[in-house]
């Protein structure tokens, strides 16, 4: 059998300077008919995860594309990705001596089709070169195509706030809405009941309210997908100012 | 005549293993059921009143179940530690015939392979699984001696031994410990992880 998942780990830049921002990417190529899971896998499965040991980098929140709904027999609904999934991890280079900057880590996933699941993992390793001087600004070489494409697939961020037990956000699009809470929000939501979400059309978009049992963490996020007259549009609701 | 009534009762048992109703969550009375195990022997939940009953959704070909029984053995150890006079551990396979890990033959082989000391009940229509809201293998429901559902959710917070979050939480062990001590179970509901239960299409 061919490999079900092929993992590639790459960075937007190979030479970096202290203070510079860069993007790391985990790309999973998935065999036809199979899927891996989103940050919140839905009714079953486990999330795809990447863990990095990178003492020379400050790592940000993982950027996820909008999930695809994958129904199974018995009313089970999963959230996942078919064909390919690229996770983007923003990073900032810390100050340190010139020389190789080592990135080591592990990616884990569960790859499934309707009748079976297979856990997988990959060891991640990447060496960047740290050179002296200040960041060069935006004039560096273009990032690899995989990263450029993943950036395009990343839903634009919308800042959400938490007040009176509700996460609130104003989304600049109109239409019927599906909300997918990320894993970090699941503990604040009821289990096995419909999502306590309300949305209302407002001037220039949609106002969304999601009842939570407590304040969300800074890393918490949700993806809202709206069926607009121009097709589906996804947005990532974040708890911090958009980056 | 005895043979005839036996056939009639086994037919009745297999066509309506459980009364229809909404999904059961903690705090609700457990719906009783009658299900056959891999040897054809039927098990009636109503007959277990007065005991704590653990229902564990099972699929011997699910990697999470294999991990828990085969590679790591945590679930064998957990069941072994708690099973006894006052606690019955029932594994339930709600897989439809022909689906992964389903059927008496495959489950009887798993009992032998992992030296399981209890039965595997076959819920081929999926009616019992759906009534208890079983979505994954493993997923665990705990019923107290009074017949109330007191826990429904995951085994722990650590798929394949990797905790989601800062530390490992063994939810089922915690629930059984609290129940034995007469303390409230917290959390009483968790999100289970694992393979989807292979219900009929």
Contact A184, A220 (CB under 8 A): yes
Q: Which whole number is the average pLDDT over B62-71? A: 91
Report chain B residues whose CB lies below 8 A from the CB of A75. Answer: 130
Residues A148 and A162 in one domain: no
Give the number of A-B residue pairs with CB atoms closer than 8 Å: 72
CATH number at residue A70: 2.60.40.1250
**Per-residue model confidence (pLDDT) at position A53:** 93
* Residue B48: pLDDT over 80: yes
CATH number at residue A211: 2.60.40
Residues A120 and A217 in one domain: no
Residues A47 and A78 in one domain: yes
Q: Which of A216-220, B18-22, B29-33, B104-108 has the least mean pLDDT?
A: B18-22
What DSSP line would sit under B53-88, residue for residue?
Answer: EEEEE--TTSHHHHIIIIIS-HHHHHHHHH-BTTEE
Mean pLDDT, chain A, whole residue set? 93
The domain total for chain A is: 2
Residues A83 and A51 in one domain: yes
* Residue A48: pLDDT over 60: yes
Q: Which whole number is the average pLDDT over B81-94? A: 96
Residues A104 and A179 in one domain: no
Chain B, 177 to 196: residues with Cβ < 8 Å from chain A are 189-196
To the nearest whole Å, the CA of B3 is away from the closest chain A CA by 35
The domain boundary residue, chosen from A123, A153, A183? A153
Q: In whole angstroms, give the CA distance from residue B126 to residue B16.
A: 11
Mean pLDDT, chain B, whole residue set? 91
**Per-residue model confidence (pLDDT) at position B73:** 75
Q: How confident is the model at residue B57 (pLDDT cuts 50, 70, 90)?
A: very high
Residues A112 and A184 in one domain: no
* Residue A168: pLDDT over 50: yes
To the nearest whole Å, the CA of A10 is away from the closest chain B CA by 24
Chain A, 13 to 72: residues with Cβ < 8 Å from chain B are 41, 43-47, 49, 72
* Residue B15: pLDDT over 60: no
Residues A41 and A119 in one domain: yes
Q: How confident is the model at residue A139 (pLDDT cuts 50, 70, 90)?
A: low
Contact B136, B107 (CB under 8 A): no
Q: Which whole number is the average pLDDT over A222-230? A: 96
Q: Nearest by CB to A76, which of B135, B159, B200?
A: B135
Residues A185 and A69 in one domain: no
Asked if the C-beta of B145 comes within 8 angstroms of chain A's C-beta atoms, the answer is no
Percent with pLDDT over 90 in chain B: 81
* Residue B174: pLDDT over 90: yes
Q: Which residue has the higher pLDDT, B166 or B83?
A: B83
Residues A79 and A194 in one domain: no
- Is A5 strand, coil or helix? strand
To the nearest whole Å, the CA of B128 is away from the closest chain A CA by 12
Residues A170 and A148 in one domain: no
Q: Nearest by CB to B189, which of A43, A72, A191?
A: A191
Residues A22 and A126 in one domain: yes
SS3 content of chain A, % helix, strand, coil (to 5): 5, 55, 40
Report chain B residues whose CB lies below 8 A from the CB of A43. Answer: 135-136, 196
Q: Which whole number is the average pLDDT over B149-169? A: 92
**Per-residue model confidence (pLDDT) at position A140:** 61
Q: What is the ipTM of this complex?
A: 0.85
Asked if the C-beta of A119 comes within 8 angstroms of chain B's C-beta atoms, the answer is yes
**Per-residue model confidence (pLDDT) at position B183:** 97
**Per-residue model confidence (pLDDT) at position A236:** 98
Asked if the C-beta of B105 comes within 8 angstroms of chain A's C-beta atoms, the answer is no
Asked if the C-beta of A192 comes within 8 angstroms of chain B's C-beta atoms, the answer is yes
The domain boundary residue, chosen from A153, A186, A208? A153
Query: Distance of CA A101 to CAs A51, A190, B56, Å?
Result: 17, 43, 47
Q: In whole angstroms, give the CA distance from residue B193 to residue B64.
A: 9
Q: Which domain holds residue A163?
A: 157-239
The B52-57 sheet, strands edge to edge? B120-122, B87-93, B52-57, B139-143, B149-153
Residues A14 and A127 in one domain: yes
* Residue B12: pLDDT over 60: no
Q: Which residue has the higher pLDDT, B121 or A15?
A: B121
Architecture of domain B29-196 in this structure: 3-Layer(aba) Sandwich (3.40)
Q: Which whole number is the average pLDDT over B17-23? A: 86
Do the Cβ atoms of A192 and B129 come within 8 Å? no
* Residue B88: pLDDT over 50: yes
To the nearest whole Å, the CA of B24 is away from the closest chain A CA by 10
């Amino acid at each position: 059998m061919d490999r079900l998942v092929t993992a590639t780990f790459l960075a937007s830049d190979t030479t970096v300077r202290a203070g510079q921002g860069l993007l790391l990417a985990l790309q999973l190529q998935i065999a036809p008919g199979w899927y891996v899971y989103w940050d919140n896998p839905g009714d079953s499965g486990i999330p795809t995860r990447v863990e990095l040991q990178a003492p020379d980098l400050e790592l940000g929140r993982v950027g996820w594309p909008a999930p695809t709904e994958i129904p199974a027999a018995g009313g089970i609904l999963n959230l996942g990705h078919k064909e390919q999934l690229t996770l983007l991890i923003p990073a900032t280079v810390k100050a340190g001596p010139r020389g190789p900057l080592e990135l080591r880590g592990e990616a884990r996933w569960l790859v499934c089709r309707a009748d079976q699941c297979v856990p997988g993992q990959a060891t991640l390793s990447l060496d960047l070169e740290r050179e002296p001087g200040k960041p060069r600004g935006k004039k560096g070489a273009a990032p690899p195509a995989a990263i450029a494409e993943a950036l395009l697939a990343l839903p634009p961020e919308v800042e959400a706030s938490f007040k009176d037990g509700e996460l609130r956000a104003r989304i600049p699009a109109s239409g019927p809405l599906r909300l997918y809470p990320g894993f970090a929000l699941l503990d604040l939501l009821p289990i096995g009941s419909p999502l306590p979400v309300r949305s209302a059309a407002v001037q220039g978009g949609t106002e969304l309210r999601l009842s939570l049992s407590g304040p969300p963490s800074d890393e918490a996020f949700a993806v809202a997908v709206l069926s607009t007259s121009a097709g589906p549009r996804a947005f990532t609701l974040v708890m911090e100012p958009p980056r | 005549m005895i043979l005839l009534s036996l056939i009639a009762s086994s037919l009745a048992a297999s066509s309506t293993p459980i009364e229809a109703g909404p999904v059961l969550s903690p705090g609700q009375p457990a719906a009783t059921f009658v299900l056959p195990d891999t040897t054809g022997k039927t098990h009636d939940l109503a007959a277990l009143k007065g005991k704590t009953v653990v229902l564990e959704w099972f699929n011997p070909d699910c990697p999470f179940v294999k991990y828990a029984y085969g590679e790591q053995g945590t679930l064998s150890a957990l069941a072994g530690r708690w099973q006894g006079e006052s606690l019955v551990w029932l594994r339930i396979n709600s897989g439809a015939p022909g689906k992964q890990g389903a059927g008496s033959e495959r489950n009887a082989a798993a009992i032998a392979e992992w030296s399981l000391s209890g039965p595997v009940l076959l819920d081929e229509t999926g009616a019992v699984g759906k009534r208890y809201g079983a979505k994954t293998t493993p997923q665990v429901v705990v019923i107290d001696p009074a017949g109330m559902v007191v826990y429904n959710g995951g085994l722990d917070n650590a798929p394949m031994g990797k905790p989601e979050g800062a530390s490992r939480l063994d939810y089922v062990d915690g629930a059984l410990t609290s129940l034995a001590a007469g303390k409230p179970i917290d959390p009483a509901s968790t999100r289970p992880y694992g393979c989807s239960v292979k219900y009929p299409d």
